[in-house]
Structure 1
Amino acid sequence: MSETPVRVMVVDDHPLWREAVERDLAAAGFVVVATAADGTQALARFAAARPQVVVLDLQIPAPDGVAVTAQIVAQDPEARVLVLSASGEHSDVLGAVKAGAVGYLVKSASREELVDGVRRAAAGEPVFTPGLAGLVLGEFQRLSDEPSDGEESPLTERETEVLTMVAKGLTSRQIAERLVLSHRTVQNHVQNILGKLQMNNRVELTRYAIEQGLDG
């Protein structure tokens, strides 16, 4: 019995690029349920089409990609936003991840990288153009290392271990093999880490960790 195709929405204000991405994803077996050219269209069509993965350019007419990402994740926490942007600026990458994006690819990515990225995003795995995952890890470790009213790092040792491997580009299955854990356990760790990255400050991160029982 074949798996149900992943439902995808493509958001980009350049028609030719948007159509090319749509063609590539359709050819790879995805179902493109909607496209949009700006933030307002994206939010309206997301609500109607309910895609599982949104392939999103950051530089779109207002609201921009970061704002759209935050609203999509707020509407449907199960939705996966994969940014596909011409910008590799650190501030753009961190802004997107903190808004709730599960991954960030630059537009120089190959068709194969895009198709693989959408598959991995649909499975809940972080997806980054090489080099950008290390940036996200470095920023998160910086936040975790900053002393703040005596609080400890919101990450457990195991989560730090998983996140380090994610930053090296390992898939959840590869991480599971290395740490001798189940695939589902690794995915749960990744989801907890991503959830924390979406928080706005250390107080929220720590509260989240305690609520999830990750402080023990």
Structure 2
Amino acid sequence: MTVRVMVVDDHPMWRDGVTRDLQDEGFDVVATADGVGAAGRRATAVRPDVVLMDMQLPDGSGADATLAVLAGSPDSRVLVLSASDERDDVLRAVKSGASGYLVKSASRAELVAAVHATAEGRAVYTPGLAGLVLGEFRRMSAEPEEDGITRSVLTDRETEVLRHVAKGLSAKQIAAKLTLSHRTVENHVQSTLRKLQLANRVELTRYAIEHGLDSED
């Protein structure tokens, strides 16, 4: 199947050039965007398989845009393509849900391979950055836990939703209890599944119960 891609970058020449390169390689570029707001709206509308994401945008960061994209299109995978290889940028991108991180010095062949790999569910990083990300996750896993969940992994809201999942509540019931929309609850559930590397709600419920979240008031 043809991989459907959205390109997010605020520099028109770069965005158009990447779009042409991808189209020449057989990808279907279904949308482009130049900022956080546009990225969220267009991802929601077109549901791309892969989103190529710049880290520096006029109305926020690539991490902000990644959150917006995944909120509207949870099944999309985000591959950051940035000029920056700074530690903080890389870790912010990954923690927001990006599947990989490539610097813009990558060759066309490397970009094409990375987009294919991302579409297949594999994590892709510029050489040297994978070790940085792995080290950070090891550090996170060694931090003291609260309610059995590593604080750095899940947000407070995700942990709150997970508690209600553990008690057997449906997304609709959780939404009513927390005064959220049904869709927002589902987005939190999907984000939690990705972060905990679980396959479905059954595994998520088991995980929550094993960590004692079903006993919380």
User: Is structure 2 residue 95 aligned with structure 1 residue 86?
Assistant: no
User: Percent of aligned pairs with the same residue?
Assistant: 52
The residue that corresponds to 2:115 in the other structure is 118
Structure 1 residue identity aligned to 2:98? A
The residue that corresponds to 1:26 in the other structure is 23
User: Is structure 2 residue 137 aligned with structure 1 residue 136?
Assistant: no
Is the Cα contact below 8 Å between 2:8 and 2:15 reproduced in 1? yes
Count of residue pairs the alignment pairs up:
167
User: Is structure 2 residue 39 aligned with structure 1 residue 54?
Assistant: no
Task: Give the TM-score of the pair, scaled to structure 1.
Answer: 0.69
Cα shift at 1:63: 3.2
User: Is structure 2 residue 10 aligned with structure 1 residue 13?
Assistant: yes
Is the Cα contact below 8 Å between 2:43 and 2:73 reproduced in 1? no
Q: Which runs of 5+ in 2 are unaligned?
A: 152-190, 198-203, 212-217
For 1:152 and 1:69, locate their aligned partners in 2 and report how far apart those are by CA, in whole Å.
23
Structure 2 residue identity aligned to 1:195? K
Task: Give the TM-score of the pair, scaled to structure 2.
Answer: 0.69
Is the Cα contact below 8 Å between 1:196 and 1:208 reproduced in 2? no
Structure 2 residue identity aligned to 1:80? R
Residues 102-113 of structure 1 correspond to what in structure 2 (within 5 A)?
102-113=99-110
Taking a change above 3 Å as real, the CA distance of residues 75 and 152 of structure 1, as seen in their structure-2 partners, is: closer
Match of 2:15, SS? helix
Structure 2 residue identity aligned to 1:62? D
Structure 1 residue identity aligned to 2:70? V
* CA radius of gyration, larger in: 2
Cα shift at 1:78: 1.0
Q: Deviations over 1:130-182 (max 9, x none)?
A: 1111101000101112344695989xxxxxxxxxxxxxxxxxxxxxxxxxxxx
For 2:81 and 2:192, locate their aligned partners in 1 and report how far apart those are by CA, in whole Å.
23
Residues 67-216 of structure 1 correspond to what in structure 2 (within 5 A)?
67-148=64-145, 194-196=194-196, 210-211=207-208
